[in-house]
Amino acid sequence: MLDIKYIRENPDKVKQAAEEKGYGSTVVDKLLEAYERRLGLLSKVEEIRAKQNKITYEIKTEKSKGSLDKKLIAKASILKVELKELEPELNKAEKSYLDLMLQIPNPALKDVPKGKGEAENIELKVVGDKPKFKFKPKDHVELAEKLDIIDFKRAAKVVGSGYYFLKGDGAMLELALVQYGLKFLAERGFMPIITPDLARDRYYLGTGYQPKGPEAQTYRIEETDLGLIATAEVTLAGYHADETLLSEELPMKYAGYSHCFRREEGAYGKYSRGMYRVHQFSKVEMFAYCTPSDSQKIHEGLLHTEEEFWQSLKIPYRVLEMCTGDLGAQAVKKYDLEAWMPGRGDWGEITSTSNTTDFQARRLGIKTKINGETAYAHTLNGTLVATSRGPIAILENNQQEDGSVVVPKVLQPYMGKEKIEVIT
Candidate list 262, 338, 363, 388, residue with the active-site label = 262
Candidate list 19, 89, 321, 349, residue with the active-site label = 349
Q: Which is it for strands 367-370 and 373-376: parallel, antiparallel or unpaired?
A: antiparallel
Local structure of residue 213 (DSSP, 8 states): S
Three-class DSSP labels, 292-340: HHHHHHHHHHHHHHHHHHHHHCCCCEEEEECCHHHCCCCCCEEEEEEEE
Please give the Cα distance from 174 to 282 (Å, whole number).
8
Candidate list 285, 295, 389, 396, residue with the active-site label = 389
Residue 360: which of 348, 376, 374 has the closest Cα?
A: 376
Would residue 277 show up in a list of annotated catalytic residues for this protein? yes
Candidate list 37, 277, 318, 344, residue with the active-site label = 277
Residue 122 β-bridge partners = 321
Candidate list 282, 352, 354, 388, residue with the active-site label = 352
Helix, strand, or coil (residue 136): coil
Would residue 352 show up in a list of annotated catalytic residues for this protein? yes
Q: Which helix (H) or strand (E) holds 284?
A: strand 280-290
Q: Where are the beta strands (DSSP E) in 72-190?
A: 122-127, 150-151, 165-166
| Maximal CA-CA distance, the chain | 105
Query: What number of other Cβ atoms are within 10 A of residue 356's Cβ?
Result: 25
Please give the Cα distance from 292 to 105 (Å, whole number).
18
- Using the Cα atoms of residue 32, residue 37, residue 40 and residue 46 in order, give the sign of their dihedral: negative
Please give the Cα distance from 127 to 307 (Å, whole number).
9
Would residue 389 show up in a list of annotated catalytic residues for this protein? yes
Could you check whether the bond before residue 251 is cis, i.e. omega within 30 degrees of 0? yes
Please give the Cα distance from 325 to 311 (Å, whole number).
29
CA–CA distances in Å: residue 49 to residues 39, 89, 106, 391: 15, 15, 36, 63
Answer for the pair 113, 122: CB distance below 8 angstroms, yes or no: yes
Buried b (16+ CB within 10 A) or exposed e, 124-142: eeeebeeeeeeeebbbbbb
What does R_g of the chain's alpha carbons equal in angstroms? 27
Determine the length of the chain. 424
* Residues that are catalytic: 262, 277, 349, 352, 389
